[in-house]
Amino acid sequence: MTLEISAIEALDPLAKIEAAKEHNIRFAELQFTDIMGIVKGVTIPLHQLKGSLQNGTWFDGSSVEGFTRIAESDQWLKPDMDTFAEIPWKPGHGELGAGPLGSRGTARVICDVYTPDGKPFVGDPRGVLKRQLERATKLGYVWNAGPELEFFLFRKDENGEIKPLPHDNAGYFDFSTDLGANIRQDMVNALEAFGISVEAAHHEVAAGQHEIDFRYADGLKTADNAVTFKFTLKAIAQIHGLYATFMPKPIFGINGSGMHTHQSLYSIAESRNAFADPENQYGLSDLARSYMAGILAHARGMIAVLAPLVNSYKRLVPGYEAPTYLTWGRTNRSALIRVPKVSPGISIEATRVEVRCPDPSSNTYLAFAAMLAAGLDGVEKGLELAPPVEESLYAMSPERIKKAGIRELPGTLGEAIDELERDEVICAALGDHVLTHYVEAKRAEWDEYRTQVSTWEVEKYLDAF
Ligand code: GLU
Ligand code: MG
């Protein structure tokens, strides 16, 4: 049995370590992410964790993407014991994980990154999110978020190579008894062992595509959960001989994978959801409306963070339930922001807005920080929200869209990076360090892509010209 989160969550850090020891856990995996959102980690024997809590665990930051230069390479990790949980596929007992030389039981701990002089490192993505969350707290709010991560489960080809080969032919909400449905259930069990409370799991629209939704929480907990979610799903798929990918558009001509993010502000002083106003036609308070206006105003500036890959822009095209236009609506899935209906009988505390442009390849900490910064800018400036567009934008002619003054998301990563550099609010939210490294890396990625000659070009032009 995996160490139950409910049995340890109320314990202090040292008591957690004791409980883990009694449970045959022998290691701690100290984790953080680089600026691209790739999970990094160092494994220490559990008996070193107490020392790490006191003195930190040092590492060479110059070898981590976007961290430091050689000359200033030393950094240290400060474990956040609120995130202490046993990695469920590595228990120190039973068939999985226990090796011939003893227990491989391992607990995961997410860490903050610090500089030698004891300051939070400005380039730590988790720190970037914490700064925005603190800004919200100063304004009197807790930012709550709940993402819907979509993903594909693929097979390997006969040579064992990773290829985009869907393992099923099912569609949206199909009930199936195939391997995918079993794997989803194993994924849910693994996520819950990490303390992530799953709400529902279903087959998505495209063949081989799935979605698992978990309960919303404050922004930091949710971002930690999203990072955990991604490596958990990859690990469980691998155990079953498949692989899970969060690549936004792995296959041309069918839906891609999004990370729609539901969000709201909770008033600390009034102990209530500050987005809710039952008097308003959409159930939205003035605060929520200004927040949405902020999201729309900065959508072009922050999309390079929310949809960070060359491939992300192949998802953000008309016709596949992903947004392309900067609008909002109740039911409109082509709009950038959707306002889910809060059914009668459900508490208005559930009022929230769903931002549909992010995709799951983003660094969740940076994507959350950017959206919160955009929303709070709308709040602080009291921005006016344009009227909703309920008509499907995919069906509207380009002339009508233009006439209505509706703006679009950038069409490529190259354009998105230019927009990011122009948006002072998003630049400030990322901070100089992250911004500089991010833009440099993304520009190089874009340049590498745009100079390639693709199969499509060869097939289209070689013979014709
Ligand atoms: N897969 C779609 C996207 O790329 C979303 C489908 C849905 O509404 O769940 O955003
Ligand atoms: Mg979905």
Q: Digits of tens for pLDDT over the chain (465 positions)?
A: 788 898 899 999 999 999 999 999 999 999 999 999 999 999 999 999 999 999 999 888 887 877 776 556 789 999 999 999 999 998 776 655 667 778 889 999 999 999 999 999 999 999 999 999 999 999 999 999 999 999 999 988 888 887 887 777 666 666 665 677 889 999 999 999 999 999 988 888 888 899 999 999 999 999 999 999 999 999 999 999 898 999 999 999 999 999 999 999 999 999 999 999 989 989 999 999 999 999 999 999 999 999 999 999 999 999 999 999 999 998 777 899 999 988 766 778 899 999 999 999 999 999 999 999 999 999 999 999 999 988 777 777 878 888 888 899 999 999 999 999 999 999 999 999 999 999 999 999 999 999 999 999 999 999 999
Q: Does 274 lie in the same domain as 319?
A: yes
Q: Which member of 150, 168, 277, 423 is catalytic? A: 150
Residue with CA nearest ligand 1 atom 8: 321
pLDDT at 172: 64
pLDDT at 457: 96
Q: Which member of 260, 298, 315, 352 is catalytic? A: 260
Per-position DSSP letters for 389-410, written without gaps between them? --S-TTTS-HHHHHHTT--B--
Helix (H, G, I), strand (E, B) or coil at 356: coil
Q: Does 364 lie in the same domain as 329?
A: yes
Residue with CA nearest ligand 1 atom 6: 321
Q: Does 43 lie in the same domain as 174?
A: no
Q: Does 315 lie in the same domain as 419?
A: yes
Q: Does 116 lie in the same domain as 134?
A: no
Q: Is 358 in the pocket of ligand 1 (CB under 6 A)?
A: no
Q: Does 106 lie in the same domain as 46?
A: yes
- Active-site annotation holds for 333: yes
- For residue 334, the domain's CATH number is 3.30.590.10
The tokens describing 1, both together, are 């049995």
- For residue 93, the domain's CATH number is 3.10.20.70
pLDDT at 70: 56
Domain assignment present for 464: no
Q: Is 258 in the pocket of ligand 1 (CB under 6 A)?
A: yes
Q: Does 136 lie in the same domain as 100?
A: no
Distance 321 CA to ligand 1 centre (A): 5
pLDDT at 226: 98
Q: Does 209 lie in the same domain as 357?
A: yes
Helices (H), 256-350: 286-306, 312-315
Tell which residue, 244, 143, 263, 144, has the closest CA to residue 201.
Answer: 244
Q: Does 214 lie in the same domain as 153?
A: yes
Q: Which member of 135, 333, 433, 443 is catalytic? A: 333
Atom index in ligand 1 nearest the CA of residue 150 equals: 1
The domain boundary, picked from 88, 120, 152, lies at: 120
Domain assignment present for 465: no
Q: Is 256 in the pocket of ligand 1 (CB under 6 A)?
A: yes
Phi, psi of 187 (to 5 degrees): -65, -45
The Cα–Cα gap between 315 and 297 comes to 21
Domain assignment present for 31: yes
- Active-site annotation holds for 211: yes
- Active-site annotation holds for 134: no
The domain boundary, picked from 95, 120, 145, lies at: 120
The Cα–Cα gap between 217 and 143 comes to 9
- Active-site annotation holds for 407: no
Domain assignment present for 437: yes
Tell me which residue has tokens 């999201």: 295
The domain boundary, picked from 99, 120, 141, lies at: 120
Which structural domain range is residue 322 located in? 130-456
Q: Is 245 in the pocket of ligand 1 (CB under 6 A)?
A: no
Distance 132 CA to ligand 1 centre (A): 27
Beta strand segments in 127-224, E: 141-156, 162-166, 198-203, 209-214, 217-218
Calculate ∠ Cα 427-423-362, nearest 5°: 60
pLDDT at 355: 98
Query: Residue 363, Cβ neighbours under 10 Å: how many?
Result: 28
Number of domains in the chain: 2
- Active-site annotation holds for 204: yes
Domain assignment present for 463: no
| Contact between 211 and 204 (Cβ < 8 Å) | yes
- Active-site annotation holds for 279: no
| Contact between 154 and 251 (Cβ < 8 Å) | no
Three-state SS string over 190-217 comes to HHHHCCCCEEEEEECCCCCEEEEEECCE
Length of the chain: 465
pLDDT at 11: 94
Q: Does 391 lie in the same domain as 243?
A: yes
pLDDT at 358: 98
pTM assigned to the model: 0.95
Q: Does 289 lie in the same domain as 154?
A: yes
Phi, psi of 292 (to 5 degrees): -65, -40
Q: Does 333 lie in the same domain as 299?
A: yes
Domain assignment present for 461: no
Domain assignment present for 200: yes
Domain assignment present for 30: yes
pLDDT at 159: 85
